[in-house]
Structure 1
Amino acid sequence: MNDEGRFGQYGGSFIPEILYSSQQQLLKAYREAMADTSFVQLVKSEMQDFSGRPTPLTYCANLTKTIGGAQIYLKREDLNHSGAHKMNNVIGQGLLAKRMGKTRIIAETGAGQHGVASALVAARLGLECTVYMGAHDIERQYPNVFWMKQLGATVVPVTTGAATLKDALDEALRDWSSSYEDTHYLIGTSCGCAPYPEMVAGFQSVIGEEVKEQSIQQFVRYPDRIYACVGGGSNACGIFLPFVDTQTELVGVEAGGRSNAPGDHAMRFNTDQARFGIAQGFATRFLQDSEGQLQPTHSISAGLDYVGVSPILADLEEKGKVRMTSANDNEVIEAFKMLTRHEGIIPALESSHAVAGALREAAGMSAEEYIVINISGRGDKDIFNIAKALNDEPFTDFLHAYLKEETAQ
């Protein structure tokens, strides 16, 4: 990255003039904080004492035997407090906001995990919290919305556009434009204007740093491949970046959705529907139509349907340091079932994309090779979507009976 927050041709700051002074204040504060050893230690302590790091690297003996190829390990970010990798970043940014004297944080969220994590940290640090979330995502992820509200956060439904993550991000930017004096915008993924991509990826890199130590301890070398799902890109950046200059192959798995047709997926790579563009404060690969308008997206997982991607990952893919693939909705459900039934681990639908991509390739590898899959979150939040995808009639009957009983009372 250069001094302007550029990663090759990607990144940068394309923001309204009203936000320039706030963005510069944040950039200066972040640089000073990361040069302060006491602040860095405070972040590490909170990650350990509040979130429960380090998370384990778990060997999957049953799945390895079933697949019959590479040795399969999971990086268990699902075991963080709140059930996802999102805690790593919100702890860092929450403490930075407090250091800057801000009294309020705002956040955008798709799957809701970043919203819950932001609300948790806001409660711990005594900050006011507002979370913007697409109305469509609220319907898909209401358990997370419920917990955000219990934690004291204000959840604002966004009904514009497709009512998903892109639209929530737009609304959060509008809020920040009018409230920046006392408000910190706590972006949840490694996108947006500088220093957000670098900052989010930096706080998330604890994932990959732990994998380095754990892999040496458990199988005496670095993994041959690492797999991570890719929406905006925070969990992928977090596990990939510490390995960029090693021999480990880094594989990102995007949302292949229902089909390759426009609006049916969220693939920013390996498609002619995505190209260089500037939107929402930064430059990266966006899904666009022939006139440059951002396209609608689809994924079975609410957290992977962002129309753009981290400028860091766009640059790494262009340089051949990261390989991108995808998994469609059906493959994701099958991967979810495989991991759940063979290992007793319930992954989020986002993480199940990484599992699907990894299992598809693991069978063609040798038993002397090792792969690590980043389980970025747990599947509790996805119970309604998963039950629907599995056509679980008893669960549907239970919900109908429960609602009928509650209505009768």
Structure 2
Amino acid sequence: MSYSGSNHVSRIPDANGYYGEFGGNHWPAHMGPALEELTGAYEQLRSSPDFRHELDTVRTGLQGRPTPVLHLENISNQLGGARIYVKREDLNHTGAHKINHCVGFALLARRMGKRKLIAETGAGQHGVALASAAARFGLECEVHIGATDADKVNANVDLMRLLGARVVPVASGQSTLKEASDSALHAYTEQHAHALYAIGSAIGPHPFPMIVRDFQSVVGQEARAQFLAITDGVLPDHVVACVAGGSNALGLYSGFLDDPEVALHAVEPLGKSAEFGQHAATLTFGRPGTLHGASSVVLQENDGTPAAVMSIASGLAYPGVGPEMAMLCKSGRVSVDTVSDEEAVGTFLRIARSEGIIPALESAHALAFAIRLAADRPRRERILVNLSGRGDKDVDFVLARFAPGGLGTEPGDVDRQRGPAGLRRYALHPGKPHSR
């Protein structure tokens, strides 16, 4: 039984947790029993009608699902090209798609007799979602976050604490998502007897990527049915999502993977430039490697250590990608594009002024590419974007750095010496893949 009804999802991964050449379990041998316990529990519960009923009930009552699909009429009319639609995952309780798998992990932990959830977070959305789910089901919660990110999204840190979570700032390395993941994984290895690792994306050793994808597939299920209803039975021509680990992308893609006429696009953060260390575009510039317990594609130094990464969107500043995303991109089913910090901020401002929606900086990457794509495509085509989170967490950061004198009253009225204009478009030519 698959969560999405997709033929792809029903046969991937294989019994050993591999997505083609990627995936598997590359954790220390002593963690094998804990992963086997999790795999067995999940395989039993995923086909349980009682478990599915409880999950659906929580999704309706706590999360507020289903989230709608909306036509961005103003932006579409401005462009005059393909029409852009968004799946409003920003309307979930706690403001992002992350709660889709957080409530799943909370229910799974309770069924397994675990009393605690452990996780990492970058932009803070996953941490807030997990803290909310833990509070709802009476579980302890421990969230690891890089110290740099904690300063950037301090409002989300306050929300985690308000919801009862213990927040662990991580000050090693770049003090961002990769280091938070290292710290959370270490904590889980020490506490697995009574705790469950509620991983933040479709990464890590088997069965974590599969579990996250399955819980997130509700996005694709809903989006497909909603889009067909809106368009009188016509599928989107393009489906777009931002990508770091791949949870929001795989969630949306799952509804369309078996439709070859639907083009799937993964949008990565180009950061400040295509120079090594100035971006986090793993699929564009990475090479095969192992990170956080799975073989995948990794941005790495010549000696194989993970490279320094950079993105204005904390949730995208990760030097790896989930194994299923790596497989889909290598096979050509998903195409990869990049968006710079500058273009993402410009889109953040433009969507706010044109549509009355404040997208997360992560989601702004996907929207930026969709705008670029729509301008070059005919009016008859339709583009569906996963608006994976809201941008409340990013407002202070963007205004302080890109509009220090205030936004004024006109669209795009920002300090042009310090940041992008809201209505400006950028052409990106990232160049050839590189390594160091």
TM-score category, normalised to shorter length: over 0.9
- Listed one character per residue, the Cα deviations across residues 352-399 of structure 1 (whole Å, up to 9, x for unaligned) are 00001110110111111111111000000112221133223359xxxx
Give, as a single letter, the amino acid of the residue that structure 2 aligns with 1:238.
G
User: 1:222 and 2:244 equivalent?
Assistant: no
Alignment map for 1:8-407 (pairs within 5 Å): 8-220=20-232, 221-246=234-259, 247-271=261-285, 274-394=286-406
Secondary structure at the residue paired with 1:55? coil
- Listed one character per residue, the Cα deviations across residues 208-256 of structure 1 (whole Å, up to 9, x for unaligned) are 1111101110012110001100011100010012211102111010001
Give, as a single letter, the amino acid of the residue that structure 2 aligns with 1:352.
A
Q: Equivalent residue for 2:415?
A: none
Work out whether residues 283 and 321 of structure 2, in 8 Å CA contact, stay in contact via their aligned partners in 1: no
Structure 1 residues 279 and 270: CA distance shift in structure 2, 3 A: closer
Secondary structure at the residue paired with 1:228? strand
State the Cα distance separating 1:173 from its structure 2 match: 1.1
Secondary structure at the residue paired with 1:393? coil
Work out whether residues 333 and 389 of structure 1, in 8 Å CA contact, stay in contact via their aligned partners in 2: no
Work out whether residues 223 and 255 of structure 2, in 8 Å CA contact, stay in contact via their aligned partners in 1: no
Work out whether residues 254 and 324 of structure 1, in 8 Å CA contact, stay in contact via their aligned partners in 2: yes
Cα distance between partner residues in 2 of 1:270 and 1:301: 17
- Listed one character per residue, the Cα deviations across residues 175-205 of structure 1 (whole Å, up to 9, x for unaligned) are 1111111000100100001111011011001
State the Cα distance separating 1:280 from its structure 2 match: 1.1
Q: Equivalent residue for 1:400?
A: none
Work out whether residues 105 and 185 of structure 1, in 8 Å CA contact, stay in contact via their aligned partners in 2: yes
Work out whether residues 236 and 262 of structure 2, in 8 Å CA contact, stay in contact via their aligned partners in 1: yes
The TM-score, its normalising length taken from structure 1, stands at 0.95
Work out whether residues 242 and 268 of structure 2, in 8 Å CA contact, stay in contact via their aligned partners in 1: yes
Work out whether residues 351 and 374 of structure 1, in 8 Å CA contact, stay in contact via their aligned partners in 2: yes
Moved over 6 A (4+): none
Give, as a single letter, the amino acid of the residue that structure 1 aligns with 2:302.
S
Cα distance between partner residues in 2 of 1:177 and 1:212: 38
Cα distance between partner residues in 1 of 2:129 and 2:235: 30
How many pairs align? 393
Cα distance between partner residues in 2 of 1:355 and 1:248: 18
Work out whether residues 105 and 122 of structure 1, in 8 Å CA contact, stay in contact via their aligned partners in 2: yes
Cα distance between partner residues in 1 of 2:53 and 2:277: 44
**RMSD over equivalenced CA pairs, Å:** 1.0
Secondary structure at the residue paired with 2:109? helix
The TM-score, its normalising length taken from structure 2, stands at 0.89
Give, as a single letter, the amino acid of the residue that structure 2 aligns with 1:249.
A
Secondary structure at the residue paired with 2:254? helix
Work out whether residues 57 and 73 of structure 1, in 8 Å CA contact, stay in contact via their aligned partners in 2: yes
What 5-or-longer segments of structure 2 have no aligned partner?
A: 1-12, 408-436
Work out whether residues 15 and 193 of structure 1, in 8 Å CA contact, stay in contact via their aligned partners in 2: yes
